[in-house]
């Protein structure tokens, strides 16, 4: 929430930064300026991409095991359900079996349904979401208003559901390395250095 509204994390504001802090900051500030509907589409694309990367990784692993005759019984069961006993196993069949095994089409449908639901939230100017959604353009402006309303404890259930969806999904969009350091510069004089050396 802090990154989307301010461009830096809560820890960053206290001087704790990662090695790629400047690069992350530039990238995240570009994301902050995206309009809400475009951001919603980014969320959709990032979820679909993540699912497809997982499927692709599993597919390669299964194909490698089949080539080495190390069969995964659950995948083989899915393959046999698709092709029956008489056909040869090819790459398309392995991929389809992996998708079936991982409930790929159910997950795709859930991602799209969730996306459609929140797009409807945006397009309904009623009690679903307050009118400020219509009157703001950038995602950063919307998050700032959410933060203010959270502090004032005036968010309704639909707003909470909407903000939760955006924040949960933003992990796949924003760049943030949580391996942070802070460099502290100490002022010193000859006497304090001598005392320090005595302690060592």
Give tens-digit pLDDT for 23-63. Answer: 999 999 999 999 888 999 999 999 999 999 999 998 898 88
Q: Check: CB of residue 178 under 8 Å from CB of residue 5.
A: no
Give tens-digit pLDDT for 110-152. Answer: 999 999 988 887 776 545 566 666 666 789 988 998 898 889 8
* Neighbour-count burial of 194, counting CB atoms closer than 10 A to its CB (0-12 exposed, 13-18 middle, 19+ buried): exposed
Q: Check: CB of residue 189 under 8 Å from CB of residue 24.
A: no
pTM of the model: 0.76
Q: Which residues pair with 181 in a beta bridge?
A: 17
End-to-end CA distance of the chain: 44
């Amino acid at each position: 929430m802090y990154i989307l509204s301010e461009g830096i994390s809560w820890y960053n504001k206290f001087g704790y930064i990662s090695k790629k802090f400047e690069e992350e900051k530039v990238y995240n500030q570009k994301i902050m300026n995206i309009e809400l509907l475009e951001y919603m589409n980014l969320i959709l694309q990032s979820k679909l991409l993540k699912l497809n990367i997982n499927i692709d990784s599993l597919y390669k692993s299964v194909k490698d095991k089949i080539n080495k005759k190390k069969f995964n019984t659950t995948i083989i069961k899915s393959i046999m359900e698709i092709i029956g006993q008489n056909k040869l196993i090819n790459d398309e069949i392995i991929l389809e079996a992996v998708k079936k095994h991982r409930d790929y089409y159910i997950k795709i449908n859930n991602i799209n349904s969730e996306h459609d639901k929140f797009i409807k939230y945006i397009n309904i100017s009623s009690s679903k979401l307050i009118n400020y959604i219509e009157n703001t353009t950038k995602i950063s402006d919307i998050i700032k208003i959410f933060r203010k309303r959270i502090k004032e404890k005036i968010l309704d259930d639909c707003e909470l559901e909407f903000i939760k969806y955006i924040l949960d999904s933003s992990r796949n969009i924003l760049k943030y390395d949580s391996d942070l350091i802070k460099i502290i510069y100490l002022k010193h004089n000859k006497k304090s250095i001598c005392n320090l050396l005595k302690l060592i």
